Structure 1
Amino acid sequence: MKKLLQKLKGDKALWVVLILLALFSFLPVYSASSNLAYLGKGTGNTFGYLLKHFVHLSLGFVIIYFVHRIPYHYFRTISRVLLPVSWLLLLFAMVRGTVIEGANASRWIQLPLGISFQPSTFASITLYLYVARYLSKTEIADMTFQKSLLGLWLPVFVTVGLIFPSNFSTAALVFSMVLMITFVGQYPVKNSAVIVGLGMGAALFFIVLVKAFPGAFPNRVDTWMSRIENFTSDKVDPDEDYQIERAKTAIATGGVYGIGPGKSVQRNFLPQSSSDFIFAIIIEEYGLAGGFWVIFLYLVLFIRFMIASYKAPTLFGKLVVVGLGIPIVFQAFINMGVAVQLLPTTGQPLPLISSGGTSIWITCAALGIILSVTKKEEEIAQEKMEGEKREEALQRIIDRELEKEEAIEGEDFSIEEAQNPMQAVMGKP
């Protein structure tokens, strides 16, 4: 165990918070999965969902470990390579137009072994790294609007534009986080205001186009527009407001200390109780005390991100921590805000607590990059020294193999001399 802890580099407090969030997630996920266990003539056994969540989180922490060992400056080049790949994945997910149980699921790609992959989460992290790279390599004096329009904003609009038709909340989150990164990177605010205006105009044009030509291509415009209208309207539609009403019932039932682990009632009625609305189940079972504990952990996470950004040795490192860390905390508070009806339903999971697969893994990859930035100089020097030792050991192995080959060749030549001494002396056949 001691050797394992020594191999965990970077901010130790950040490691502790991540482990606490992951450990806490098992009880609510195990409890909230009961409604899923009964679907499709299921037996009601939730152990399989607990095991699945354990596998997802275990693989997630393996990803964190291996990613945090990679020097973070390598991701400058990696972001340029992966950004076009993310566009292809988003385009593929869009044109498929898959329907799952009557609902448009064009934001998902079905992988082997029953794994569903949401390209927007992968694209968002890649875009944040790309924007951080651009702002860190470009001098502020040369960062004119004309130059940045192609080098910076065109990739942003392409990425957000491919996410927007199927996932408005994620597109809005990604665009907001990009604006935050540009603000931290000292990009001119007046130029950002122009970009915001262009973005709003493009979104309005898209909505008008969808309304004029409904069914022309896969989108979920009607879904998220109805959610916004239902959230802002005084008239409540029971069908549209079903999830929120169940979530509020769960929160009201929980009180201060909750009704106890595994005793939730609303988990049997609340859709997505183990993912999108898991915060309501947490409050129902653990009360406001459990809810504040979760909020406290995410606030500590936010503070550690700010400290890591302040201590980062390069501008790229600062922007990477801000660009990858703040969206995780922001997404968490969006999820909790939806559960208490402060925000309209968005479908954003609670990071490291909600059940999921690829969403957990991509979040863990982002956390691994952040931990790579937080590594101290002595840790970096130690890794460099270990790498040099491995190279030296490999070189010694190669040298020994070469010496063996030379010795064998020398022995073969001596045998030939002994068998034919005249040929060896005269050099003639």
Structure 2
Amino acid sequence: MRMPGRADRTVFGRWFWTVDRPLFILFLILISLGLIAVAAASPAASQRLSGANFKLPELFFLKRQFMWVAIGLPVLIGVSLLPKDLVRRLAVLGTGLGLLLLASLPVIGAEINGAIRWIQFGGFQLQPSEFLKPAFVVTTAWILSLRFDDEQLPVFSLAGSLLAVTAGLLVIQPDYGQTLLIGAVWAGQALLAGLSLAWVAALGVAAIAVLGAGYVFSPHISGRIDRFLTGEGDTYQADRALDALRSGGLFGTGPGGGEAKYSLPEPHTDYIFAVIGEEFGILACIAVAGIFLAMVIRVLSQLIEEEDPFVTLAASGLAAQIALQAFVNMGVATSLLPSKGMTLPFISHGGSSFIALCLTAGMLLALTRRNRFLKASPFGAKLQAAE
């Protein structure tokens, strides 16, 4: 396909010359690495989930991942084409719909492993909280950005109320991990918007209180924390993940050569980082972590000269959401954090999670689009604002 010229005013032409191509390439690299990682994990996951009366093909989950990529990539690119105002409106609408679906889960949701987080239809499962996260981050950014136009507006109260409602609905599921994740992102955005350190400290205390409530009222949560702190009890998941990482060494056993992965719980989702370590080595794990770090650095570098507070708050929040989720997944696989079912962004096999992350990446690319050739002139600034 011929590269569009700089004078090309078609939708694709404007997108090509305004999108942050290094950031776009980083997302494509993560998705490509995900296909390789799922290919390595698929035989173990298929064997583990096969039943007495049925046997899943070895590459069952790889084929499904190709399907999710075929759906997710158009979502990513399509959302990245949107103007910033439309991204904001989409996020506000998505937040409202997401909260409605979360509130409906006790009635229409399906219980899996003691939690009601999914809506089942046909052979698929929809997890509303995954789609709510990016919408919530952008909506919060919009509310907080209003104070830069009028400091008298009670934006922190409004954004805090939205956080409280969202956190309450997530705790009911229960899903303490997602609650702490969105709370951490919200705190970062509020701090950037000018919230005092005293209030940020109060939020930290509230987060500890939420975790404490989970410890007291949820045997599942307390068991995970106790195993992490004492090393006693059922530490099967953490032990198997460490076994996989140790067996891979620096350079790994080679594609398809891993054996420890067959003992891993959820090798294609929650513990795919351990599969990467076993088959491709610790150096590959460091490279994956480095790509997430490069993504964050790229976004922050793009925001240095950004004058729109909404864009700054939204883009930094979305980048933080992806990075924190990756940190939690890698921390669990390496036993640096208590066990928590959270996927590795763009790499783990998944439906709702993967599509929602493509939506997140698309929003991030849309918000960081700019005309790098014309922005120095007044005309260029007007053109950029129009786009």
Q: Same fold (TM over 0.5)?
A: yes
Shift of 1:36: 3.1
Shift of 1:189: 2.6
CA distance in 2, matches of 1:43, 1:107: 27
Cα distance between partner residues in 2 of 1:23 and 1:152: 36
Shift of 1:333: 1.6
Matched, 1:230 2:227: yes
In structure 2, runs of 5+ residues without a counterpart are 5-11
Q: Partners in 2 of 1:94 and 1:330 — Cα distance?
A: 28
Q: SS in structure 1 opposite 2:281?
A: helix
Q: Distance in 2 between matches of 1:95 and 1:372?
A: 36
2:181 to 159, 173, 179: 173
What TM-score results when the alignment is normalised by the length of structure 2? 0.86
Which residue pairs with 1:49 in the alignment? 61
Alignment partner of 1:14 out of 23, 29, 33: 23
Q: Match for 1:68 among 53, 63, 80?
A: 80
1-structure distance, mates of 2:208, 2:34: 37
| Cα distance in 2, alignment partners of residues 341 and 278 from structure 1 | 14
The residue type equivalent to 2:34 in the other structure is: S
Q: What secondary structure does 1:164 align onto?
A: helix
* Residue in structure 2 matching 1:192, options 189, 200, 204: 200
Structure whose CA Rg is larger: 1
2: CA distance, partners of 1:338 / 1:205: 21
Query: How far 1:27 moved relative to its partner?
Result: 2.1
In the alignment, the residues of structure 2 paired with residue 362 and residue 379 of structure 1 have an alpha-carbon distance, to the nearest angstrom, of 33
Q: Is the 8 A contact 2:251 2:281 kept in 1?
A: yes
Distance 1:75 1:143, change over 3 A: farther
State TM-score, norm by structure 1: 0.78
Is 1:25 the counterpart of 2:29 in the alignment? Answer: no
- Which sits farther off after the overlay, 2-11 or 185-194? 2-11
Percent identity over paired residues: 27
Alignment of 1:327-406 (within 5 A): 327-377=321-371
Deviation at 1:271, TM superposition (A): 1.1
Matched AA of 1:71: P
* Residue 45 of structure 2 is aligned to residue 36 of structure 1: yes
- The answer to whether the 8 A contact 1:352-1:360 is kept is yes
Q: Is the 8 A contact 2:214 2:221 kept in 1?
A: no
| 1:251 equivalenced with 2:258 (yes/no) | no
Provide closer, same or farther for how the CA distance between residues 290 and 194 of structure 1 changes in structure 2, counting only shifts above 3 A: closer
Cα gap change, 1:83 to 1:379, in 2 (>3 Å) = farther
Alignment length (residue pairs):
366
1:93 is aligned to: 105
Pairing partner for 1:106 from 88, 107, 116? 116
1-structure distance, mates of 2:220, 2:188: 28
Aligned position for 1:160: 167
Q: 2:276 aligns with which of 269, 282, 292?
A: 282
**Cross-structure match for 2:134:** 125
Q: Which runs of 5+ in 1 are unaligned?
A: 212-220, 389-429
* Contact 1:95 1:106 survives alignment (8 Å): no
Post-superposition shift, 1:49? Answer: 1.9
Deviations 1:208-232 (A, max 9, x none): 6xx4xxxxxxxxx221221011101
Conserved? CA contact 1:32–1:267, under 8 Å: yes
Alignment partners' CA distance in 2, 1:203 and 1:358: 25
SS in 2 for 1:142: coil
Residue 8 of structure 2 aligns with which residue? none
Shift of 1:91: 1.6
Distance 1:348 1:141, change over 3 A: same
CA shift for structure 1 position 285: 0.4
- Whole-angstrom distance in 1 between the partners of 2:269 and 2:213: 33
Cα shift at 1:87: 1.3
| In the alignment, structure 1 residue 263 sits paired with structure 2 residue 257 | yes
Residue 403 of structure 1: aligned partner:
none
Contact 1:305 1:326 survives alignment (8 Å): no
Q: Deviations over 1:48-68 (max 9, x none)?
A: 321210111121111111101
Letter of the aligned partner of 1:163 in structure 2?
Answer: L
Tell whether the 8 Å contact from 1:35 to 1:267 is kept in structure 2 after alignment: yes
Asked if structure 2 preserves the Cα contact closer than 8 Å seen for 1:282 and 1:291, the reply is yes
The AA in structure 2 aligned to 1:226 is G
Deviates more, 1:195-204 or 1:177-186: 195-204
Match of 1:427 in 2: none
The SS at the match of 2:130 is helix
Q: Which residue in 1 is equivalent to 2:2?
A: 2
2:291 to 282, 291, 297: 297
Distance change >3 Å, CA 372–CA 99, structure 1 → 2: closer
Larger CA deviation: 273-282 vs 81-90:
81-90
